[in-house]
Chain A
Amino acid sequence: MSARQYVTFRVGGALCAVDVLQVREVIEHPGWYPVPGSPSEVRGLINLRGQIVTLIDLGLRIGEAARETGDVHTCVILKTDGDVDATSQALERTRADAVGLVVDRMHDVRSIDESQVAPPPANVAVERRRFLDGVVQLDTDLLLLLRIEAVLDLFSQPGAQDGRAPGSREAA
């Protein structure tokens, strides 16, 4: 009943999940264009059928990987305000801009029951904690449920004004 569908994907060493209702589509190998002078988490812009989408390097953002160069393999394109319809009104409406998360590899879509969700364990660094809604212990992995609003809020994090990534990269 209280189960929700999650899109799961791998970023660096972590297995992450985003509510399917937040995701518009997933694209592979898009042609992307860097923006000189942008914060390092911003990988660049892509043309998605006439719409300009800003790509955020998720690994860099949540301190999971230090990939600042290299190609963009997979992008999870998130819904914008315009896409968020009545069915998902529960989601916070903070996205006027089209945003895509750069991830390493897609996994399956999973149904996760609320009862499975635990708060982030204590060994998760404080800097990363704010990106998480909770964790789910799977057989082999810890699934991180991302708090998308925090992930996308590049500008209110300490030390983000100068466009640098969060300092801590401790493993979970």
Chain B
Amino acid sequence: MSDDRELLEEFVQESRELLEGVEGDLLAFDAIADDERDEVVHRLFRAVHSVKGAAGFFGLRNIGELSHQLENVLGRVRDKQLTPQPSLVDTLLRANDRLRTLLEDVDGSDEFAIDDEMLALAPWLATGDALEAIAAAAVAPAPPLPRLLERPSEVPGLSEERRQALIGHGQHLYVVTLELPGDLNATGDGALPVFLERVASLGEVLAVDGVAIERVDPSAARAGRCELAFASILAPDLAPLALRLPGERVRELRLRREEPTAQEDAGEDAPDAHDAHDARPPHESGPAPAPAAGVRREPRAAGREAETTGRKADETVRVKTSVLDTLMQMAGEMVLARNRLLRRVEIDYGAEGLQGVIHELRAVTSALQEEIMSMRLQPIGTLFGRFHRVVRDLGHQLGKDVALRTRGDDVDVDRTILEALTDPLTHLLRNALDHGLEAPDVRAAAGKGRGEVLLEAFHHDGMVQIDVSDNGRGIDVEAIRRSALKKGLIAPEDVGRMSADETLALIFRPGFSTSAKATEVSGRGVGMDVVRTNIEKVGGTVAVSSKLGEGTKVSLKLPLTLAIVPSLIIETGGQRFALPQVGLEEVVRLDASEHHSVERIHDCDVLRHRGRLLPLVRLSTALALGGGAAEGGPVVRQSERVLVLRVGSNRYGLVVERVLDTEEIVVKPLSRYVRSIRDFSGVTILGDGGVALILDPVGIAHKAQLRFADIAAASEAEHEATRLRASSRAESVLLFACGRDSRLAIPLEQVSRIEQAERGRIEYVGQEAFLEYLGRSLPLLWPAHALGLGYDEDGEGPIQVLIPKLARHPVGLVTSRVLEARDIVLDVDRENARREGLVGSTLVDGHIVLLLEAHGFLAHALPSFFTPPDLGQGTLRALQVDPPSMAGWVAQDDLEALGMAVERVASGEEAWSALTADRYDLVVTDLDVGRLDGGELARRMRATPELAGVPVVAFRNGGTTGRDERFDETVARFDRDGLRRVIEARVLQVPARERRRVA
């Protein structure tokens, strides 16, 4: 009973592999050369035939019927009655799929419906019925069929007992192919009986043409090819000589590694079953020649060997993976034992000559471990291979023509890693096809060729890296940003701070991808958090890079194996722990002078390190071991070390008391009593026999409740603040895109509102364009065009119109897209981009952004509307007190336009010394100009008789209105008209001599 069960399981296993091979062959069908095609067809046929035969043996009706039908169709392909075409291949694939499904549940397989597949296959047989008969009649004798005797189990009359006996006697089993009568004439004999008699002394003929010898009538007339099963003590190199036959006619069948077949008398069915013309209904297919399950050789390798080259392939033995795992584990134990021994010897210096032995032991153990580890390795191609099907099917479904290319198929990866990769890679490929690659028409329009997905594996830094890249549309960082903002994953104030890479990494955040409508974020991110989780579970990392319009690449980095992990051994709280080196970026030691680099933000100690803030976690605190930082003492003592750990895209510093050593550790699972503790991923035995828990950086980060987003934000804010302090102040601007690739910025204060409008709503009157806005016609201006940056009748979809504030005549500035509002540090190049209507240029996120100031721009673009009056003076002097800012430049431009000579200083102190040294007609000041601020400056001037009469004008902060008693006048920043009115009233109307008197 249990034997049957075992047999059945073997059958399932074997059939599964056979059918997997079938799928691969079918998928490759279009690509293979004609001369190889025959071989492939034969291989397909044999595989399906094996499955059919075994199914019959086990009485599996559905599997038998379907494989029979499939075999029949394949038979017709083999006989060139059918030419393989895509639709046929599809049908075959479907049938093969169904077979594989049935195999997943052999016991219930007869309850599944297979009608669809049967019907789909039927036409490929039915239409040719008549034809088939004719063909069969016309071609006589029938073309030589490939012989299918490949395994001892297929030899009729070869019982298990017998086989064992043969093995016991050191016999070999041969398949001898005779051409009758030719071969026998050549040997001078004549008929089969003579031959049989002649070889009787050399061995024993077991079967002729698949019929057990007992049932063969040797005297029956024969012609053509004839196949004999021949058992003999003769070695393979001698057999052909003794039989007086060419070497290729004598083929050995391996007797060993053969499972019992319980198969005695099915011989007669075998040749028939091989016959593709066979029209018997499936239920008659009867007991099969052999359950393919019995064979333990690699099925495909065996097939090739037998049929084509005759060259001996590497002998392979199938071993249960559990055996490998045990071996692996034992090798691990041995490494541990060796380490302990080495340590002891190091301590005791050992007896005479022991060192040499130890070194040998060391070398052998290492080699052994490596060898065993390599047994668990499999080429990643076995995994990549599966995806051809996925891509093909998905491509069909989505109506996209996609080529999957793979590179580095022969890169070996541990089995466990391979398993862990299946789901993530499937996911990534799906994403690439579904969202990454554009629809065919879009691609065509963009001048792109066929969609391509590349799977590439290579070794890098002792790890395996797998890249999944496509040549699709890429990821729109702005869209990600918007989506993350909408979903509340990032705060609005984060927006300006995140780099493109950081923004891209958002797609790995849980919750980012829950949106069913993924197109909104140009598609990526469906389940990306799952991908990340799975990869991190096996100690890997994920990164994504993308170029808009060119494609996306997701890189997975994985350890080669999970079993042995290079680790750092550390000590804290009197206990030793192992920390896998995978996530470890560096070990930092703080000098006494560097303690100031540890600060406190959000109740968390952070280390300023390499330009970023690293949250610190004290291991002893996280594990509640006691021994925290001394009160009042430094957060990180000099003897301690900070381990910089990477968790996803975040980093933190783990403070440990001591770093002891590095060691290759063997990971052992934690018992269930302690498994739920997230701080540890396992346990190991150290070289000295001690036990060390393996730290899990992710778990510790959770335990310490690190909220990286806060830290990151704080870090960025800090960073930004430092930059601001260092140079000048930040300015709020609205970034927008114009034309094909121009980016412009306008001070946020100058923007009254942003309107969105359909292009269809633009009215043209001659050269002018208008938009109906609040019941009036709003003249439209295209900034890029007006600035001579090229015309931008770009794109489709709605336009976004900026309506500047403070303009006497409302005007709309047409942008192709409003990007974002953000604070930028004005590091303005005023010279290079000096152009009418522009203030200057600056860099934002690596892009050149042109700074536009509405009034100047409008005056330039629409001179008739906005010509400032020329006041025609030239001798008046103004002192402008303010740090560099856009408003400042605008004011300077305005003052100069009004005919004043302007001198600028940045602080109140400087202003004061300038005022006491020279004569000015006007002081224009910011409120916040250092310790001596605008108000204080004005007060001092009032208190100084010589300066009391000089009018002081202050810039109001955005939003505030009304008078400020300390100043003569206040004006809003950017308020040109207001400034001019002030100057007209306060400066120009004062008679010149009075001014001089004042001065």
Q: Which residues in A have some Cβ–Cβ distance to B below 8 Å?
A: 31, 33-39, 41-42, 45-47, 50, 52, 54, 56, 96-99, 154-155
Contacts and interface: CB of A to CB of B under 8 A. Distances in A.
B664 to A, nearest CB: 16
A50 B336 contact: yes
B826 interface: no
A33 B691 contact: yes
Contacts of A38: 673-674, 677
Contact of B671 (A33, A36, A99): A99
23 contacts: A31-B689, A33-B575, A33-B692, A35-B677, A35-B680, A36-B575, A36-B693, A37-B623, A39-B673, A42-B673, A45-B691, A47-B685, A47-B689, A47-B691, A50-B333, A50-B337, A52-B668, A54-B671, A54-B674, A97-B671, A97-B672, A97-B673, A154-B673
B577 to A, nearest CB: 9
B698 to A, nearest CB: 15
Nearest to A152: B673
Contacts of B672: 96-97, 155
Interface string B654-690: 0000000000000010011110010110010100011
A99 B679 CA distance: 21
Q: Top 5 closest A-B pairs, CB basis? A: A97-B671, A36-B623, A54-B671, A33-B691, A37-B677
Contacts of B674: 35, 38, 42, 45, 54
B691 A36 contact: no
Given A52-B683, A54-B671, 11 more contacts: A31-B689, A33-B690, A33-B693, A35-B680, A36-B623, A38-B674, A38-B677, A50-B333, A50-B685, A97-B672, A99-B673
Contacts of A37: 623-624, 677, 679
A96 B673 CA distance: 11
Nearest to B682: A52
A38 B523 CA distance: 44
B571 to A, nearest CB: 12
Interface string B322-345: 000000000001001100000000
B690 A47 contact: yes
A154 B673 CA distance: 7
A35 B677 CA distance: 9
Contacts, number: 62
B680 A31 contact: no
Nearest to A35: B674
Interface in B622-674: 623-625, 668, 671-674
Contacts of A154: 673
A46 B691 contact: yes
A41 B673 CA distance: 9
A138 to B, nearest CB: 32
Contacts of B623: 36-37
Nearest to B693: A35
Contacts of B693: 33, 35-36, 45
A35 B681 CA distance: 12
Interface residues of B, number: 23
Contacts of A46: 691
A52 B691 contact: yes
Interface of B: 333, 336-337, 573, 575, 623-625, 668, 671-674, 677, 679-680, 683, 685, 689-693
- Say whether chain A's binding surface is mostly helix, strand, loop, or mixed: loop
Nearest to A42: B673
Contacts of A45: 674, 683, 691, 693
From A34, A37, A38, A97, residue with most partner B Cβ within 10 Å: A37
A52 B690 contact: no
A52 B689 contact: no
Contact of B690 (A31, A39, A56): A31
Given A33-B690, A45-B683, A46-B691, A54 B625 contact: no
Contacts of B625: 36
A42 B672 CA distance: 11
From A36, A41, A54, A97, residue with most partner B Cβ within 10 Å: A36
Nearest to B576: A33
Nearest to B699: A37
Nearest to B333: A50
Nearest to B680: A35
A43 to B, nearest CB: 10
B668 A36 contact: no
Contact of B575 (A31, A34, A56, A155): A34
A96 B672 CA distance: 9
Nearest to B686: A47
B224 to A, nearest CB: 59
A116 to B, nearest CB: 33
A56 B673 contact: yes
Contacts of A47: 685, 689-691
Contacts of A33: 575, 690-693
Given A33-B691, A42-B674, A52 B624 contact: no
B156 to A, nearest CB: 41
B334 to A, nearest CB: 9
A36 B690 contact: no
A36 B337 CA distance: 26
Contacts of A54: 671, 673-674
Nearest to B625: A36
B757 to A, nearest CB: 61
Contacts of B333: 50
From A31, A38, A39, residue with most partner B Cβ within 10 Å: A38
Contacts of A41: 673
Contacts of A34: 575
Nearest to A34: B575
Contacts of B685: 47, 50, 52
A154 B672 CA distance: 9
Contacts of B680: 35
A155 B674 CA distance: 11
Contact of A52 (B573, B575, B671, B679): B671
Contacts of A52: 668, 671, 683, 685, 691
A31 B60 CA distance: 58
B673 A36 contact: no
A13 B174 CA distance: 77
A105 B989 CA distance: 109
Contacts of A99: 671, 673
A96 B675 CA distance: 13
A31 B576 CA distance: 13
Contacts of A50: 333, 336-337, 685
A113 B624 CA distance: 48
From A33, A41, A46, A56, residue with most partner B Cβ within 10 Å: A33
A52 B680 CA distance: 15
A96 B679 CA distance: 22
Nearest to B685: A47
Nearest to A39: B673
A154 B671 CA distance: 12
Contacts of B683: 45, 52
Contacts of A39: 673
A99 B674 CA distance: 12
A31 B623 CA distance: 21
B930 to A, nearest CB: 54
Contacts of A97: 671-673
A92 to B, nearest CB: 15
A110 B305 CA distance: 66
B422 to A, nearest CB: 26
A37 B692 CA distance: 15
A14 to B, nearest CB: 22
B624 A36 contact: yes
Nearest to B574: A34
B671 A98 contact: yes
Contacts of A98: 671
A38 B693 CA distance: 12
